[in-house]
Chains A and B, each alone.
Chain A
Amino acid sequence: MNFKHKYVFLFPGLFVLIGILIFPIIFVVRLSLSGWNSYNGLNFIGLENYVRLFTDDPRFWESFIRLSFLSVTTVVLQYVIGFTLAHMVWKEIKFQRFFRVLFLIPMMTTPVIMTVIWRTFFHESLGPVNDLLQIFDIAPKWLTDPTLAKVTVIIVEVWQWTPFMFLLLLAGLLSLPKEPFLAAAIDGASPIRKFIYVTFPLMAPISIGAIIIRLIEASKIMDTVYVLTSGGPGTSTETSSFYIFIKGLREFQMGYAASMSFTYLIIMIISLTVIAKVLTKLLLKD
C-alpha cells in the first residue's frame, strides 16, 4: 500500500520527537566545545574539553570501567536467574500465575524508592541483614566498604531488574513453536538434553535481544547508586553517569560535562554494537 495518508500517520510522532530532541543534541555538541560560566555564558574553546578528558582525567575512565563491570555482572546474573525462573514457571507448576506475578513485581517498583528501603535493610546496626548475620558473628559494612558497596549495588540491581529479563524470556518461551519439543519427546530426550539442544538454541535470538535491552538499561545505573551510596565510599561505586552528573550539575562545569556525555554516548553505541555482533556470533553460530 502506498497512499499519501501515510505521512499523516508517521509525521506527528516523528516530528514531536525530533522537535524535542534536536535542540538538546545540537546544544550538547556545541556545549562540549565551550567553556561555561554564569557571567558570560558560552565561550568557544575548541577541543580543549576533549583534550582534558583524554589526557588528564583518569577518574572518568575509572568510572567507565566500573560501570562496565557493574552492568556486565548484573546483566549476566539477571540473565541466568531470569532464564532459570522463566523456565521454571513456563510449564505446569503449582500457583503458576501467582509466581509469575510475584516475580514481575520488583520491576514495577520505583528503583530509588526501593533503594530507600534497601538502605534501611542493609543498615549496619539497625538493619535485619546484619542482625541475622550476628549468628555468625560478622557485621559486614554493606554501604561503607569499597568492595562490599559494589556487591550491595549489584544485589539491589539484580533484585530490581531480573524481573524484566524474566518477563522478556518468559514471553519468548511462551511464543516458541511446539513441534521441536514434540520431536524431542518422541526421541526420548532427557530434560537436560532437551534444554541444551532444543530450548536454548530456539531462545538464542530472544536471549540476544533481552541481553542487549538490559545492557542498554543497565548502563544507565545512576538512581540506585545516588541513593544507596552517593558514589561512595570515595569513588568506589561511581559510574560514568554519576560522575558526569557531579561535574555538570554539582560543579557546574557544563561544557566539560557535555564533552564527557558526548564521548560516553559514542563509546556506548560502539560497544553495544560490538557486543550485539559478538553475541550473535556466539549464540547463533549454527
Chain B
Amino acid sequence: MGKLYTFLKYFFITVWTVFVVAPFLWALTTSFKDFNSVNGGVTYIPWVDFEPNLEGWRVLIKSPAQGGVDIVEPYFNSLFVTCTASLVSIILGTLSAYALSRYTFKAGPIKNNDITFFFISQRIMPPIVLSIPFFLFLGAVNLLDSLFGLIVVYIVLLMPIAVWIMVDFFNKVPREIDETALIDGCNPYQAFYKVVLPNSIPGLIVAGMFCIIFGWIDFFFAFILTFTEVQLLPVKIVALNSSITPWWSLSASALVSVAPLIVVAFIVERYLSKGNLSGAIK
C-alpha cells in the first residue's frame, strides 16, 4: 500500500478521534471550573488557564435543599427501568426468537417471516406516534409518572431489538443440536434450556447490550410519561440545562450519566471481534 494511503488513513483517524473526544474533554475540564473561568472568557488547561476545583462534582450528591442537583435518585431510577425492561425483553424476545427460528408457524397468509417482521417493525414506529396514546392510556390506568408504566413502554422499544438479534443468532446455531437433544431424551423445553441456551451466551450478551443501550439513552418517553414522582436521568439533566444550573455541575452530571455505558462499548467490541454480530445486520 502506498505511503499516501497510510498517511491519509492516520490523518483521518486522528481527525475523527479528536472530534469524538472533544466534547468529553470539554465537559471534563468544564466540570472543574468556577464562575470566573467559565464566564470570563474561554479557558482550556487546568492550573494554567484556571484553578480547578471540585464544586461541580460535590453538588452531584447533595440534595437540592443544600444547593445540590440531586441526580442520585434519577440515576437509580434509570438503572432500574433500563435493566428491568431489558431483562423482560430479552427473556420474552429470546423465547419468541427461538420459536421463530426453529418452528414453522402458519395462520392463513401469515408465516414466520411476517411474525418476525411484526416484532422488528415496532422500531419503525416514531416515538411520537405512540407517545400520545400511551400518555392517555397510562393516564387512564393511573400509571402515568410511575416506574412500572415506563417499563411497560420500554418493553415495546426493546423487545424488537432482542428478537432481531436473537432470531439471527439462532439461525446460525445448527438445528441438529436441538434435534440431538430431543433424540437424547429432552423434551422441547429441556432441549432449549439444557442445550440451546448454554450455547447462546454470546448472542444473549450482544442482545442484552443493545437493549441496555437503547433503554438507557431514551429521553422522549421518560420526558412525556413522567413528571415529578419519577424522574429518569436524561430528563433530570435536561431539566438542569433549562434552569440556572452552572456549567460545571451540568458537565459533571453529564459525565457521570454517560460513564456506565462506556463499559458496554468494551463488551460490544469484544464480541464484535469474535464475529458474533455479523449476520444480525443483513
Contact = CB atoms under 8 A, between A and B. Distances in A.
Interface of A: 1-3, 5-10, 12-14, 16-17, 20-21, 23-25, 27-28, 31, 81, 84-85, 88-89, 93, 97, 99-114, 116-121, 126-128, 131, 159, 167-168, 170-172, 174-175, 191, 205-206, 209-210, 213, 216-217, 219-220, 222-223, 226-227, 240-241, 244-245, 248-249, 254, 257-258, 261-262, 264-265, 268-269, 272
Nearest to A20: B156
Contact of A10 (B27, B99, B136, B156): B99
Nearest to A42: B136
A202 to B, nearest CB: 12
A172 B126 contact: no
A10 B233 contact: no
A128 B23 CA distance: 10
Contact of A13 (B5, B92, B134, B257): B92
Contacts of B92: 12-13, 16-17
A210 B241 CA distance: 33
B129 A108 contact: no
Given A5-B187, A12-B95, A17 B159 contact: yes
Residue in A12, A117, A159, A217 whose Cβ sees the most chain B Cβ within 10 Å: A117
B188 A227 contact: no
A222 B155 CA distance: 20
A230 to B, nearest CB: 10
Contacts of A175: 275, 278-279
A6 B105 contact: yes
B266 A101 contact: yes
Chain B: interface secondary structure? helix
A126 B38 contact: yes
B254 A249 contact: no
A84 B128 contact: no
Interface of B: 1-2, 5, 9, 12-13, 16-17, 19-23, 26-27, 30, 38-39, 41-42, 44, 92-93, 95-96, 98-100, 102-105, 115, 118-119, 122-137, 152-153, 155-156, 159, 163, 175, 178-179, 182, 187-189, 192, 213, 216-217, 219-220, 224, 233-234, 237-238, 240-241, 247, 250-251, 254, 257-258, 261-262, 264-266, 268-269, 272-273, 275, 277-282
A100 B281 contact: no
Nearest to A223: B219
Given A24-B133, A100-B269, A108 B262 contact: yes
Contacts of B134: 24
A39 to B, nearest CB: 16
Contacts of B254: 113-114, 116-117
Contact of B39 (A126, A205, A213): A126
A241 B128 contact: yes
B124 A17 contact: no
23 contacts: A1-B175, A6-B105, A9-B96, A10-B105, A13-B92, A13-B163, A85-B13, A88-B12, A99-B13, A100-B273, A101-B266, A110-B216, A110-B258, A114-B23, A117-B27, A120-B26, A171-B275, A174-B278, A219-B126, A222-B128, A226-B238, A241-B126, A264-B129
Contact of B220 (A13, A105, A222): A222
A113 B258 contact: yes
A117 B26 CA distance: 8
B115 A171 contact: no
A1 B180 CA distance: 12
Contact of B257 (A31, A84, A113, A244): A113
B59 to A, nearest CB: 16
Q: Give 9 closest A-B pairs by Cβ, nearest first.
A: A175-B278, A13-B96, A24-B133, A9-B99, A13-B92, A10-B99, A6-B103, A131-B42, A108-B261
